[in-house]
């Protein structure tokens, strides 16, 4: 009894795969027949969903499928010849390539596409979704539905959903077509728009529904565009924020106008280049050269700032115009020195792998990772700067000296030392901005000149002496710039922003966040 | 800040300077004549020297304009290069119109770059530039209007000091970006060149060059007398007072805004005239002239010579540019170090410039 039961279970267990295998082998045998048989076999293999069918069909499409006189099929690959049915190594002697015609080719393409939809390889699935989307046939609907249910990668899911909607659009059944239209209405891509326009011409009966779908689709596209513009604006704004933050300390808090500020940014970028060169060839250090460059750039630019303040600027306190001219000269010298030391051509800074690539947010929004890192970095630097000014002994002394130098001195604060440290601090922040800029801009000796005017604008716009103003000023200038760009072009947008700023200063000469009280003088 | 108000009784230094200035002007006036001497003559001056001196004379006019605004009224403009370039562009447009059908494309009206960019009609703002008086008027008018608008907005809201400097720098920066665009109708980054003639005289002829040289020299002398007259007038004294104690002047009932606006607009117009004289001599104008670096370099001429002294401004323009020509030929890499060094040295060690040094020696 137990033996009989065991036998039945064994038989049942064996029969399931055996049945599937039979279907595969049956269809496979068809490939050795005439063209009509071949096409039928290809379709059956495609519908069967057996992963073993994919290499066979590919081999046939590429002319690498061989046939022995006894109709055994062989696959020729770079590694050698194998039997199509079993995968065992085989001898190619006496075998000839299997010939196909165009009808078979079309069937093969469809079958390969369907099989690839469920392939274990993500790239293959993505390519298959794209291929199915292009062929657009109602027959693919069940396959796509099945594949979509199994799919876990969001990007491929979106692609498959689009392909499914496209396939539904060409279905004979109006309800299925409506499903497709509804799906496309929310897709929010130009591709979906083109599909809908095409469908409107093909099926006039559904015209009103398609028009309604187009309206909601355009709304989705507009929202997506706005989000993209906002992201680009925030990205530009964060760069401006980094460049202006140091200036907010030296110019805003200390009142020293430093035209060499852009060159400190440039020094930071070159510090990044040097650190990266030093890390090259040490495999475990290479990916971390950028984080290492941050303190290095801070120190280099900070030291240069301290030297500039102690050596030169100190003698010109109270003479802002002279300070402006003198620091401009220093900037010139720094630029030329770097040009001679590193060459005038651009230096490349390689982004580490963990910063590269694009991040896809839900809804198909593409976000470049290195720009995201710059945004995060700028906010961290802003937070650290505020914390340093608010909560440290140095910050306290700094505020005391800027508010009332004499009283601070009588309280025992060494004002000269505080001046030097504050200036070094602001310059160091500029150096850190250089690290971030090296990721998104060319590192060249005149890297800083492009940012210095914008940075001053940010500080003046936000309100001299206010770090919150610098944040708001930088981000809003960045966003406004990017908002204007599609209408006016990059250059005119910049011009318009400059003109707008001049007019803004008319109404609020002290910026968005004016200082109040005695310090405002 | 010690004011350099003209004293009624001329000192010996002043008399000496005056004599030296007259001597230099006479020497300059002789240069095109000496240029005509045969090449092997001991006193012969090469074409190169004459043409570069002609350029420097234009720079000296620009320096006078900057000095008028900065040295006397305390308005440090970092955008005077824009006025200079606008004047140059105005005369450049005239020169482009005069090329006529002799351009590469042979179009009877449109300059080459417009044919290349697919223009069919002359843009409205190019109308009238075939007339020399109109172009010359525009070379003064456009910088004047720009300075009027920027100055009005800035002075009205009492933007002073470095803020004014940065705004003027932003102004020239914005203009540079705008003029680099092809669709502005000003030739994009190539600007204008290949000029043929001016007032019926071919530009490359020796006589035309001499005429331009004398026109520049006469303008320099005329500008000097105009500035000297203004600075010695009551208005000039108000300007100096504004520079040294703006609020006090305001409280005394003078209109600081109007005084500043007047001097800024006048200064911009003089710069435009300098640019208009400069472009026919160098034969090219492009958006690079708007670069903020040019403007700030012009400021350092004034600082080196001695701001607040008109002779000093012109002297600075000549001496810094002579040094630039000399250094860029023998050691091009060093020039930017030298220029940067000048900025530092003048502001720290020589706040009154070369003329201040002379004065200091005497007292």
What are the structure tokens assigned to A430, written together? 């500029």
- Judge whether A270 is closer than 8 Å to chain B, CB to CB: no
A100: pLDDT confidence band, cut at 50, 70 and 90?
confident
Residue of higher predicted confidence among B39 and B217: B217
Q: Point out which residues pair with A77 in neighbouring strands.
A: A80
List the single best residue of B67, B70, B170 to mutate versus A (max A Cβ within 10 A).
Answer: B170
Q: Which pLDDT does position A248 carry in this prediction?
A: 85
DSSP A323-357: HHHHHHHHHHHHHHHHHHHH-SS-B--PPPGGG-S
Domain boundary among A76, A97, A117: A117
Contact: A506, B343; criterion CB under 8 Å? no
Which of A325, A453, A491 lies at the smallest CB-CB distance from B343? A325
A263: pLDDT confidence band, cut at 50, 70 and 90?
very high
DSSP A474: H
Separation of alpha carbons A431 and B131, rounded Å: 53
Domain boundary among A117, A143, A160: A117
Domain ranges for chain B, please list them: 53-289
Separation of alpha carbons A57 and A39, rounded Å: 11
In this predicted structure, the answer to whether residue B363 has a pLDDT above a threshold of 50 is: no
Q: Which pLDDT does position B358 carry in this prediction?
A: 77
Residue of higher predicted confidence among A390 and B9: A390
- Inter-residue contact A426 to A329 (CB < 8 Å): no
Separation of alpha carbons A240 and B195, rounded Å: 42
User: 3-state DSSP call for residue A3?
Assistant: helix
In chain A, positions 312-331, which contact chain B (CB-CB < 8 Å)? 312, 315-316, 319-326, 328-331
Q: Are residues A243 and A105 in the same domain?
A: no
In this predicted structure, the answer to whether residue A93 has a pLDDT above a threshold of 90 is: no
Neighbours of A120 (CB within 10 A): 7
Query: Cα A517 vs. chain centroid, distance in angstroms?
Result: 45
In this predicted structure, the answer to whether residue A328 has a pLDDT above a threshold of 50 is: yes
A9 domain-assigned: no
Could you give the angle at the alpha carbon of A307 between the alpha carbons of A302 and A308, nearest 5°? 95
Residue of higher predicted confidence among B68 and A506: B68
- Judge whether A244 is closer than 8 Å to chain B, CB to CB: no
Residue of higher predicted confidence among A366 and B104: B104
| Among A355, A375, A370, A339, CA closest to A266 | A339
B260: pLDDT confidence band, cut at 50, 70 and 90?
very high
B9: pLDDT confidence band, cut at 50, 70 and 90?
low
Kindly indicate whether the ipTM for this predicted assembly is greater than 0.90, answering yes or no: no
A2: pLDDT confidence band, cut at 50, 70 and 90?
low
In this predicted structure, the answer to whether residue B356 has a pLDDT above a threshold of 60 is: yes
Helix (H) / strand (E) containing B1: none
Task: Pick the range with the lowest mean pLDDT from A75-84, A312-321, A419-428, B287-296.
Answer: A75-84
- Inter-residue contact A258 to A452 (CB < 8 Å): no
Section B167-181 average pLDDT: 87
List the single best residue of A250, A332, A344, A499 to mutate versus B (max B Cβ within 10 A).
Answer: A332
In this predicted structure, the answer to whether residue B262 has a pLDDT above a threshold of 90 is: yes
Q: Which of A130-139, A183-192, A204-213, B340-349 has the highest mean pLDDT?
A: B340-349
Q: Are residues A102 and A241 in the same domain?
A: no
Separation of alpha carbons A378 and A462, rounded Å: 16
Section A231-258 average pLDDT: 85
Domain boundary among A117, A146, A171: A117
Q: Are residues A318 and A439 in the same domain?
A: yes
Separation of alpha carbons A192 and A121, rounded Å: 26
Going by their DSSP bridges, the two strands B284-285 and A96-97 should be labelled as unpaired
Contact: B296, A325; criterion CB under 8 Å? yes
Q: Which pLDDT does position A70 carry in this prediction?
A: 77
A111 domain-assigned: yes
Q: Which pLDDT does position B63 carry in this prediction?
A: 95
- Structural domain that includes position A34: 21-117
B5: pLDDT confidence band, cut at 50, 70 and 90?
low
Section B21-42 average pLDDT: 83
A168 domain-assigned: no
Residue of higher predicted confidence among A6 and A80: A80
Give the count of domains, chain A. 2
In this predicted structure, the answer to whether residue B340 has a pLDDT above a threshold of 50 is: yes
Neighbours of A138 (CB within 10 A): 16
Section A439-446 average pLDDT: 84
Is the Cα torsion angle A110, A114, A117, A121 positive or negative in sign? Answer: negative
Reported as a single tens digit per residue, the pLDDT across A105-146 is: 877 777 777 777 777 777 777 777 777 777 777 777 777 777
DSSP H helical segments within A68-203, as ranges? 102-117, 122-135, 141-150, 154-169, 174-185, 190-202
Section B314-321 average pLDDT: 92
- Inter-residue contact A181 to A209 (CB < 8 Å): yes
Reported as a single tens digit per residue, the pLDDT across B45-66 is: 888 888 899 999 999 999 999 9
**A257 contacts in chain B (CB < 8 Å):** 162
In this predicted structure, the answer to whether residue A186 has a pLDDT above a threshold of 90 is: no
Q: What is the mean pLDDT of chain A?
A: 80
Which of A312, A335, A453 lies at the smallest CB-CB distance from B169? A453
Backbone conformation region of residue A356, classed left if phi is above 0, alpha if psi is from -120 to 50, else beta: beta
Contact: B167, A505; criterion CB under 8 Å? yes
**B169 contacts in chain A (CB < 8 Å):** 453
Of all residues in chain B, the one with the smallest CA distance to A327 is: B344
Reported as a single tens digit per residue, the pLDDT across A369-380 is: 878 888 899 999
Separation of alpha carbons B338 and B336, rounded Å: 5
A164 domain-assigned: no
Q: Which pLDDT does position A521 carry in this prediction?
A: 41
A306 domain-assigned: yes
Domain at A445, CATH number: 1.10.3470
User: 3-state DSSP call for residue A390?
Assistant: helix
| Among A462, A434, A459, A466, CA closest to A448 | A434
A362: pLDDT confidence band, cut at 50, 70 and 90?
low
What are the structure tokens assigned to A282, written together? 């040490």
B167: pLDDT confidence band, cut at 50, 70 and 90?
confident
Section A495-516 average pLDDT: 73
- Judge whether A333 is closer than 8 Å to chain B, CB to CB: yes
Contact: B76, A321; criterion CB under 8 Å? yes
B1: pLDDT confidence band, cut at 50, 70 and 90?
very low
**B299 contacts in chain A (CB < 8 Å):** 325
Backbone angles phi, psi at B114, to 5 degrees: -70, -40
Residue of higher predicted confidence among A314 and A43: A314
**B166 contacts in chain A (CB < 8 Å):** 453, 456-457, 460
Reported as a single tens digit per residue, the pLDDT across B342-351 is: 989 988 888 8
Taking the whole predicted model, whether its pTM rises above 0.90 is answered as no
Reported as a single tens digit per residue, the pLDDT across A24-77 is: 777 777 777 778 888 888 777 777 767 677 777 878 877 788 887 777 778 877
Section B175-193 average pLDDT: 85
Q: Which pLDDT does position B115 carry in this prediction?
A: 82
């Amino acid at each position: 009894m137990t033996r009989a039961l065991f036998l039945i279970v064994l038989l049942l267990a064996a029969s399931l795969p055996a049945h599937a295998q039979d279907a595969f082998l049956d269809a496979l045998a068809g490939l050795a027949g005439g063209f009509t048989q071949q096409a039928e076999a290809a379709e059956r293999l495609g519908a069967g969903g057996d992963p073993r069918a994919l290499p066979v069909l590919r081999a046939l499409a590429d002319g690498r499928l061989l046939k022995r006189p006894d109709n055994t099929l062989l696959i020729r690959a770079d590694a050698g010849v194998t039997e199509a049915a079993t995968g065992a190594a085989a001898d190619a002697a006496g075998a000839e390539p299997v010939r196909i015609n165009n009808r078979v080719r079309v069937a093969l393409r469809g079958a390969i596409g369907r099989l690839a939809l469920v392939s274990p390889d993500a790239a293959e699935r993505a390519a298959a979704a794209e291929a199915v989307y292009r062929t657009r046939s109602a027959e693919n609907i069940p396959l796509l539905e099945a594949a979509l249910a199994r799919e876990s990668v969001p990007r491929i899911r979106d692609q498959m959903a689009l392909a499914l909607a496209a396939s539904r659009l060409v279905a004979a059944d109006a309800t299925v077509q409506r499903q497709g239209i509804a799906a496309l209405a929310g897709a929010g891509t130009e591709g979906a728009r083109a599909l809908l326009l095409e469908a409107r011409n093909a099926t006039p009966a559904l015209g009103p529904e398609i028009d309604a779908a187009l309206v909601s689709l355009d709304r989705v596209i507009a929202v997506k565009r706005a989000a993209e513009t906002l992201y680009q604006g925030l990205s530009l704004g964060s760069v401006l924020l980094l460049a202006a933050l140091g200036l907010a300390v030296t110019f805003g808090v200390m009142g020293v106008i430093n035209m060499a500020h852009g060159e400190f940014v440039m020094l930071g970028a070159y510090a990044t280049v040097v650190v990266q060169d030093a890390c090259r060839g040490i495999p475990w250090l290479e990916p971390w050269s950028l984080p290492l460059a941050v303190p290095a750039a801070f120190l280099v630019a900070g030291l240069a700032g301290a030297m500039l303040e102690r050596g030169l600027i100190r003698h010109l306190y109270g003479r802002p115009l002279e300070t402006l001219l003198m620091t401009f000269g220093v900037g010139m010298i720094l630029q030329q020195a770097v040009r001679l030391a590193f060459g005038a051509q651009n230096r490349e800074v390689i982004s580490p792998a963990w910063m590269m690539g694009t991040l896809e947010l839900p809804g198909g929004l593409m976000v470049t990772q290195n720009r995201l890192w710059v945004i995060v970095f700028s906010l961290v630097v802003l937070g650290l700067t505020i914390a340093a000014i608010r909560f440290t002994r140095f910050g306290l002394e700094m505020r005391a000296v800027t508010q009332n130098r004499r009283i601070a001195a009588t309280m025992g604060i060494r004002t000269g030392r505080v001046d030097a440290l504050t200036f070094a601090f602001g310059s160091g922040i500029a150096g850190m901005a250089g690290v971030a800029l090296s990721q998104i801009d060319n590192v060249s000796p005149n890297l800083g000149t492009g940012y210095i005017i914008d940075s001053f604008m940010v500080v003046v716009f936000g309100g001299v002496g206010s770090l919150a103003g610098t944040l708001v000023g930088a981000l809003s200038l960045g966003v406004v710039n990017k908002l204007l760009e599609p209408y006016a072009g990059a250059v005119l947008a910049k011009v318009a922003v400059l003109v707008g700023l001049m007019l803004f200063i008319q109404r609020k000469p002290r910026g968005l966040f004016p200082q109040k009280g005695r310090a405002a003088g | 800040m010690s004011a350099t108000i003209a004293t009624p009784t001329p000192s010996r230094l002043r008399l000496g300077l005056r004599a030296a200035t007259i001597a230099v002007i006479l020497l300059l006036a002789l240069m095109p004549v000496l240029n005509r001497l045969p090449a092997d003559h001991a006193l012969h001056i090469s074409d190169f020297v004459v043409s570069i001196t002609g350029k420097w004379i234009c720079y000296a006019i620009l320096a006078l304009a900057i000095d008028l605004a900065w040295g006397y009224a305390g308005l440090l403009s970092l955008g005077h290069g824009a006025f200079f370039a606008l004047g140059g562009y105005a005369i450049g447009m005239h020169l482009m119109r005069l090329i006529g059908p002799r351009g590469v494309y042979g179009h009877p009206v449109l300059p080459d770059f417009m044919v290349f960019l697919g223009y069919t009609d002359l843009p409205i703002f190019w109308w009238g530039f075939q007339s020399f008086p109109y172009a010359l008027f525009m070379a003064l008018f456009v910088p004047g209007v720009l300075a009027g608008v920027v100055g009005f907005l800035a002075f009205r809201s009492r933007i002073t000091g470095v803020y004014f400097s940065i705004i003027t720098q932003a102004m020239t920066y914005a203009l540079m970006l705008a003029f680099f665009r092809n669709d502005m109708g000003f030739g994009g980054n190539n600007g204008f060149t290949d000029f043929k003639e001016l007032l019926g005289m071919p530009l490359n002829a020796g006589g035309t060059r001499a005429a331009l040289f004398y026109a520049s020299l006469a303008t320099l002398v005329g500008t000097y007398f105009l500035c000297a007259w203004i600075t010695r007038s009551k208005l000039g004294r108000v300007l100096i007072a504004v520079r040294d104690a703006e609020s006090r002047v305001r409280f005394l009932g003078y209109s600081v805004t109007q005084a500043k606006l007047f001097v800024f607009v006048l200064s911009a117009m003089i710069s435009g005239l300098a640019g208009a004289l400069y472009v026919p001599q160098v034969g090219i104008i492009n958006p690079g002239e708007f670069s903020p670096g040019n403007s700030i370099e012009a400021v350092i001429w004034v600082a080196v010579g001695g701001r607040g002294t008109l002779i000093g401004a012109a002297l600075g323009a000549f001496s810094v540019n002579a040094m630039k020509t000399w250094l860029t030929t023998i050691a091009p890499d060093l020039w930017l170090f030298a220029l940067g060094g000048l900025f530092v040295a003048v502001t720290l060690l020589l706040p009154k410039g070369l003329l201040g040094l002379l004065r200091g020696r005497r007292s």
